[in-house]
Amino acid sequence: MALPRPSRVYAFAAYEVRRALARKKVLAMVGFIALLDTVPYYILATSGTKIIPLQVYPYLWVAGVLAPFALFMQFVAILIAAGAMSEEYESGTAELLLAKPVSRTEFFLGKFLGGFALLALLILLNALLSVAAATLTYGAQAGLDTLPGVVLVEVYSSALFFSVAFMLGELVRRSSLAYILSSALIVASQIIGTYLSIAYELTGNTFYETIHIYLPTTLAGSLPPQYEQSLLPSAASRLFQLILGPAGGTPSEASAAILVGVYLVVASSVALAYFNWADVARRVN
């Protein structure tokens, strides 16, 4: 089998970015990110509350970078990924694109990488807006040299739900259904994780903790804070307690990274295999 040609993959990736941006829901998410990264800082800074200790002020950018990632950015990931393939079937546009001398793998890779690049840009936007808002409201921020690293870790972690939603979009070929299933996975994983944490706290049984560690929300959500916590001074530790939550075990950085990779490889391989095998749907209504 011939290797995918980079020029074709790039063409589809650029197309996917434009297509995703043309959808109003993605643009709405961009607006929501902007609000989420600026309004809380402004409210906290102007309300006169003293809940934030003074020594945490230089690290408040971390809250803006990490807090939305745990859940909100996962929803952004599935919003982009769930429709990447399925919307092409729904609108009937896949047929025209694939009746050309391009391989299905090139199309698949272009769509996957294009969507993922857009998600990475949104994660970067979230980080930059957080730093800007924290600086404007709480003064100069410290530890910013760790920002590129944590953004990269967030991008990598987001691949978990992105690839799962991408796979579901290809398998069910209906964007709304793929979005509902992916969202249900996030919500179920979050709820099950909470119950497992409580069970572990009450019984001390490590079985509950082990299961909790392997849940997708635990893996995707715990890697960036863990990475960042290891680099920042103890003055910022109060922030991490708030972000990571009080209960439940978290996997080591290495095992979380490996398990995110496993989810990514399995989900994208299943999606690619199915895409290569199945007929190209003419138009799914």
Partner 1 sequence: MNASVIEFAGAVKLYGEKRIGPVEFSVRRGEIFGFLGPNGSGKTTCIRMLLGLVRPSAGKVKLGGLDPIRNHTEALTGVGYSPELPNIQTFMTPKEVLALAASEIGLKSEVRAETARVLEEVGIIEYGDTKVGKLSKGMVQRLSVAQALIGSPKTLVLDEPMIGLDPAGTAHLREAFREYARNGGTILMSSHMMTEVEDLCSSIALIHGGKLLFRGTAKEMVSQVLGADEIRVEANGLSPAIVDAVRRVEGVLEVTEGADGLDVKVRHGIEARPTIARLITGAGAELLTIREGERMLEKAYIEALRNGIAKA
Contacting residues toward partner 1, per CB under 8 A: 2, 5, 7-8, 11, 15, 18-19, 22, 91-93, 95-104, 279-280, 282-283
Q: How far is the CB of 106 from partner 1 (least distance, A)?
A: 8
Task: Please name the amino acid found at residue 129.
Answer: L
Tokens standing for 74? 């996962």
Burial of 129 (0-12, 13-18, 19+ CB in 10 A): buried
Burial of 163 (0-12, 13-18, 19+ CB in 10 A): buried
Token pair recorded at residue 282: 């003419």
How many Å apart are CA 152 and CA 227, to the nearest integer? 11
3-state DSSP percent of the chain in helix, strand and coil, to 5: 80, 0, 20
11 vs 121 by CB, closer to partner 1 = 11
Residue with tokens 């809380």, as numbered in its chain: 40
- Residue that has been written with the tokens 């916590």 in this structure: 229
Closest to partner 1 by CB, 96 vs 202, is 96
- Identify the H or E element spanning 23: none
Residue with tokens 């994660």: 123
Q: How far is the CB of 15 from partner 1 (least distance, A)?
A: 6
Instruction: CB nearer to partner 1: give 34 or 97.
Output: 97
Min. distance of Cβ 230 from partner 1 in angstroms? 44
Residue nearer to partner 1 on the CB measure, 86 or 126 = 86
The 10 Å CB-count burial string (b at 16+, else e) for 227-244 is bbbeebeebbeebbeebb
CA distance 268 to 168: 10
Q: CA-CA-CA-CA torsion for 209, 211, 214, 220, nearest 10 degrees?
A: -60
**Token pair belonging to 109:** 């890779």
Which of residues 23 and 238 has its CB atom nearest to partner 1 in the complex?
23
Q: Smallest distance from the beta carbon of 9 to partner 1, in angstroms? A: 11
Q: Measured in Å, how far apart are the chain's first and last C-alpha atoms?
A: 33
